[in-house]
Amino acid sequence: MANGNGILRFLACGSVDDGKSTLIGHLLHLSGNLYDDQVLMLQQESAQLGTAGEVIDYSLLLDGLSAEREQGITIDVAYRYFITTRRHFIVADTPGHERYTRNMATAASRCSAALILVDARQGVLPQTRRHVLICALMGIRRLLFAVNKMDTTGWSEQTFREIQAQCNHVAVDLERFGLPPAECLAIPVSGLFGDNLTHLSTRMPWYDGLTVMGWLHAIAPGEGMLEAPSRFPVQYVIKVARSGGNWQEKVEQDLRRGGTGTFRAYAGTVVSGSLKCGDPVAVLPSGLRTRIRELWCGDGPMQNASAGMSVALCLEGEHDIVRGDMIVADDRQMELAYLFKVRLVWMDDQPLYAGRHYLFKGLAGTATAGITRIRGRIEPDTYQRLAADHFMLNDIGEVELSLSRPIPFDPYGENRETGGFILTDRLSNTTVACGMILHALRRADNVPRQCEEVAPPERAAIKGQQPCVIWLTGLSGAGKSTIANCLERKLHTRGRHTMLLDGDNIRQGLNRDLGFTEAGRIENIRRIGEVAKLMTDAGLIVITAFISPFRAERTMVREILPAGRFVEIHVDTPLEECERRDPKGLYRKVRQGMIPNFTGIDSPYEPPRTPELRLGTTNRQVGECADAIIDYLHDNSLL
């Protein structure tokens, strides 16, 4: 939670080597959050390493990794909890290097305020602007520019005023972009010597504003979340039989004595608003309406629960509610949609292209997500939206997202918890992006699915066959089209209804508008996959012959078909043999530099890891390969 219990979460961010860790470490010391033995250890390590001259190097407190100390940079996010007489804090010390922007963005998604470090010797840098943009996109409206290392400028007021003007310019750019900060302040500081961290510096008498600690004390944590509509995502269903112990057991004993009912509660965290016993609520996505019967926290019952509290609630009546369902205020419900315009911070080394599929994970559960359109990229230097057909690592931009099922949501600008999500790779399960829902695309509501009178199994039955897709993949010249033609002839002779989709033929009609860039290849396979699915719905056996170089797209086609109806066949011919055959003269043109982006030469091919069938064609005749496929179809009851 970014709010709750009076704890303020904030992050320290900025460019490389601008002194984030030093400032935070010194702030902890000046606020009385370091023990004497910790200070002694820092003194000893600072003297041994000599990284800060005669004074303590406070960055050693947060840069715990040996690689961080060797390079003098922060790599991973370091969280520290500390308290003052007025408040509890959790600070995230984030890396400044562009490569680790993903770590910074992850920390920003959980914070309410941002301390942005600016090196007084360099001023606002492109990475500073990128971090400010990410903070604003993540819903952080309170920004403090700490102009650090003022000691290296001779405590110059002129230097500070110039950088202050740069910071104000960034704030104006944010406002033009549509993300005006609620507060944007600049303070001259020295993290190394502690000036203006907790007390006003006597070395900069020309500054009489807030100190860093004074600014932190003035922020109200979680502001707005208590007034927001009530949202309670179910994280766990408590049943006494399997939970046991503590208050659940007592409740069950009471129920047994009373001779009524069974105990079932729904555990989770109130992410916004408040709940109380007797409140009318709705359960999404089912739309069920009921009331809260009881609220439990710790070992006992309670009457009210507010944002940030972890509770269990019981509802009136017995219902089918599972993890991922959302319990919300009945009079202020969430929208349900499956097509969205979203913002993404791309975190993966592999580029993002339209047509790719990922797993969407949010408070409302998990769904398969497809990128249907890339609307543009945001340029960090100017905060302008630029046209783009793909995202690279650390790019920020807007896309259209289609989910496999409707989910309840609030726009991110209204509720960060229910409007945020991550995307993960379906094969490696790594996080590839963090995202923010801007709004649902209304055209999805205007295109309801039409019920068909004749179902796909009925169409297949009248043909007396099992429809499927036989997907031949391999390098150019591997023999895919030759095998596909032979296979179709053999199946046709047996009286089977087939359709052959060949790569070259499709690009002369349906896909004539697509090129051979990575984006073009992805869209090519996406369209073929949809066409192949429609043909199997018609009851046909579909044979395809496409290089289809990427595993992700082949997996996408497999997943839109019923289980067992996608037969992936790798025509496994070595590149040297394909180039020797060169039936279309393409390899010769590639070697002459006439064809760019050619698979196997200067564009990658990802062979299937576990295809249904692998065919080597070096020492095997075409007819034998076709017969091997027919044998597979027989063995798997597809013929």
| Helix, strand, coil percentages, rounded to 5, for the chain | 30, 30, 40
Q: Where are the beta strands (DSSP E) in 240-322?
A: 264-269, 274-276, 280-284, 288-297, 300-302, 304-306, 310-315
CA distance 4 to 306: 9
Q: How many helices (H) and strands (E) would you count in the chain? A: 19, 30
Handedness of CA 582, 583, 585, 587 (dihedral sign): negative
Asked if residue 194 lies in contact with residue 211, where contact means CB atoms within 8 angstroms, the answer is no
Tell me the angle at which helices 480-493 and 622-635 cross, rounded to the nearest 10 degrees.
60
Our measurement of the distance from residue 202's CA atom to the centroid of its chain's CA atoms, rounded to an integer in Å, reads 46
Tell me the angle at which helices 157-177 and 126-137 cross, rounded to the nearest 10 degrees.
40
Q: Which residues contact 394 (CB under 8 A, 6 or more apart)?
A: 98, 99, 101, 102, 130, 345, 346, 347
CA distance 220 to 258: 46
Give whole-number Cα distances, 372 to 340, 342, 345, 421, 507, in Å: 10, 11, 17, 17, 21
Asked if residue 582 lies in contact with residue 477, where contact means CB atoms within 8 angstroms, the answer is yes
Nearest to 394 by CA among 37, 127, 120, 86: 127
Is 548 a known active-site residue?
yes
Residue 240, CB-side half-sphere exposure with 13 Å CA sphere: 17
User: Which is the catalytic residue, given 21, 190, 476, 548?
Assistant: 548
What's the angle, vertex CA 397, arms to CA 511 and CA 13, rounded to 5?
Answer: 150
Q: Catalytic amino acids?
A: 548
